[in-house]
Structure 1
């Protein structure tokens, strides 16, 4: 029986953490008098660990068959690592706490994604209806904390985020293990799968899509506040993007029956090209920023579901955990780290507008790579060819 609500609850708390941490922790670091470069370095540790840790944990999960145990260890040690932020505001101490937390926190999502698809089996189209609860959790956290921070000290970010991590730990003990389906293609090796031109194109394009979002995830909240918007509006802007994401998650089963994964991904990349130019040069226009946030539904919602569906399709059976880990490492890990670190330097050197424009350049490069590397005639994907 599908543990729908247990998986949904985990996603809720997991992305509630993202909703509290990503938009507001940078404001906490700014209040602690860290420079833009130091903030970018700290936040990029999350991406660095998403390069290293998921592949290690995915390999262990494959060898030991202990996905759920690793998810629980990840939750516990993430909370332990985060506790270090209560002890110091010095860069060295913050760096150590972030490294510890990020190493364990990054282990969980690829394993949970694999578990979800294992439990879903032939009902993989229902993934979006489970994953949507993660977006709901993000909305609840980002909106509530944004409202709270207009009335209390920025230190509240630490207490709220620690409470959410405790919720993740509790949910991790409710999720049952699942056995991956054994299919004929599971006999393929990882190396053979990576030789496929469309697989390399997808992973390369995903790397560039995450790089495109680097400045957004590190500096978007600071960008809005610096341009005169209050913290409550910051929360509403993040919420608008995730509401658009939720709508796309709910529509994806229908869209995936009508359009190919390739077509959905190409559209998402095109939206990203437009979105980051609008953010960079439209700071004085709230309607422009609102429209750019609505595009988040495509640049993350549609993009992520289509990408993860392709990974699940091309990395079947025993390759599932490693495929999800590789996707996370290459995209959110390596791509996110590149985008985050680069934005830390360009933010002060060339300004916010050109930093976000650089994100559009990354998205355009991903669009071209995907279009040329994944021929429209490729077989073995959901949706019409």
Structure 2
């Protein structure tokens, strides 16, 4: 079985991994996640202010997720076929910046729905293409010049800062509409940052063995290792659905105050940043991809099992710290697999397929199921998430062990 390095393969040209490239990637990820961080918490409030009912807000958000699941593979394939992922990403960011401002002009009804469609389609490439570019840069000849964990961790830290700043901005402006301008500004600057990225290197890697004339989507889906990665990522990342949708409700029902709840959420994100910055590469070096994914699944099994028991705050603290393994470590392992399988001509398509068929589709389906689980079992719904992680452990161990 071929070895999978943490994220590093030989390159023949380009300065993607040179020392000048790192600040450009840090800038790009910081701006993108700043944009997401100011918008995500307040988009429902914006939609309500523009005349959407609670049911319509749910419909618009759900529709946006569904459209992105469909549009992401298309955007990735376009970027790969044109050989211009930076330009495609820049156009998407500019389109998203213009579309988000239209929310402030839409007066509800059909216009709000149209803007939601345009915004969802424009933002679809903003998820997978930056990761595809960063993974490809990290795969250049000299490992360490571009550290994907550092780049992705910078984005996570920027999201935290932006979410906090957005609340202050809304309070100062007296209206959630201010976040539309903040998001548009960040995404507009990010479009320029995308164009400043170095020309992608041409990587010497084995091409996937598929039939001639096979499109990029089918080419990847023909690879057993890619299909297994999609399944493992879907099970582990999708297991966060019940947590994202109903953990806070369960904690409130258990009498945990808002201050403690805020602290618990902050701990999970801090653990995520820590793994991206410091521990992720070490874990991949020690355990390889398969071992790291299995560790993430085992951590999820423990985390969700404890949370199903209506644990005290003292027990929830270490469970929240496991978020660094259940989310960040597994994400870095998935990027390492994609760096070997599809760093060049299939990179954008691979990222988009993983995000849509793996994380996105599993999460969407499990979010729908989580409502019923919570109504029937309360926090006991976490047992279902623990079962998904238990199923992922043996599948993860069949992923490549990688270089240790």
* Fold-level similarity (TM above 0.5): yes
Higher helix share: 1
78-87 vs 63-72, which moves further: 78-87
106-115 vs 217-226, which moves further: 217-226
Offset at 1:30?
Answer: 8.6
Structure 2 residue matching 1:181: 3-state secondary structure = coil
Q: What is the CA deviation profile of residues 232-257 of structure 1, one whole-angstrom value per residue up to 9, with x for unaligned ones?
A: 65554332212101111122222222
CA distance in structure 1 between the aligned counterparts of 2:106 and 2:248, rounded to whole angstroms: 23
**Conservation of the 8 A alpha-carbon contact between 1:54 and 1:329:** yes
Cα gap change, 1:43/1:229 in structure 2, threshold over 3 Å: closer, same or farther?
farther
**Conservation of the 8 A alpha-carbon contact between 1:17 and 1:141:** yes
**Conservation of the 8 A alpha-carbon contact between 1:22 and 1:218:** no
TM-score where L is the length of structure 1? 0.82
Offset at 1:194?
Answer: 3.5
Cα gap change, 1:350/1:17 in structure 2, threshold over 3 Å: closer, same or farther?
farther
Are 1:382 and 2:373 an aligned pair? no
Matching residue of 1:160: 179
Offset at 1:331?
Answer: 2.1
Q: What is the CA deviation profile of residues 65-122 of structure 1, one whole-angstrom value per residue up to 9, with x for unaligned ones?
A: 2212221222122233333443568576655443332222121232212222333312
CA distance in structure 1 between the aligned counterparts of 2:107 and 2:256, rounded to whole angstroms: 26
TM-score where L is the length of structure 2? 0.79
Offset at 1:177?
Answer: 4.8
Offset at 1:134?
Answer: 0.5
**Number of aligned pairs?**
373
Please give the residue correspondences for 1:191-206 in structure 2 after superposition, counting only pairs within 5 Å.
191=218, 193-206=220-233
Structure 1 residue matching 2:345: 3-state secondary structure = helix
Which of these residues, 267, 270, 273, is aligned with residue 298 of structure 2? 270
- Aligned CA RMSD, in angstroms, stands at 3.4
Matching residue of 1:131: 152
**Conservation of the 8 A alpha-carbon contact between 1:115 and 1:178:** no
CA distance in structure 2 between the aligned counterparts of 1:30 and 1:224, rounded to whole angstroms: 26
Segments of 5+ residues of structure 2 without an aligned counterpart are 1-17, 211-215
**Conservation of the 8 A alpha-carbon contact between 1:49 and 1:103:** yes
Q: What is the CA deviation profile of residues 291-313 of structure 1, one whole-angstrom value per residue up to 9, with x for unaligned ones?
A: 23211101111111111111121
**Conservation of the 8 A alpha-carbon contact between 1:50 and 1:334:** no
Segments of 5+ residues of structure 1 without an aligned counterpart are none
Cα gap change, 1:143/1:123 in structure 2, threshold over 3 Å: closer, same or farther?
farther
**Conservation of the 8 A alpha-carbon contact between 2:67 and 2:117:** yes
Offset at 1:264?
Answer: 0.6
**Conservation of the 8 A alpha-carbon contact between 1:146 and 1:231:** no
CA distance in structure 2 between the aligned counterparts of 1:81 and 1:130, rounded to whole angstroms: 27
Matching residue of 1:172: 191
Matching residue of 2:383: 357
Greater Rg by CA: 2
**Conservation of the 8 A alpha-carbon contact between 2:136 and 2:339:** no
Q: What is the CA deviation profile of residues 104-148 of structure 1, one whole-angstrom value per residue up to 9, with x for unaligned ones?
A: 212123221222233331245511112111111122123444677
CA distance in structure 1 between the aligned counterparts of 2:327 and 2:69, rounded to whole angstroms: 19
Matching residue of 2:338: 311
Which of these residues, 246, 253, 259, is aligned with residue 287 of structure 2? 259
Which of these residues, 118, 121, 129, is aligned with residue 103 of structure 1? 121
CA distance in structure 1 between the aligned counterparts of 2:142 and 2:62, rounded to whole angstroms: 35
Q: What is the CA deviation profile of residues 171-225 of structure 1, one whole-angstrom value per residue up to 9, with x for unaligned ones?
A: 2212325234232413644545544433221111212223212233344556556
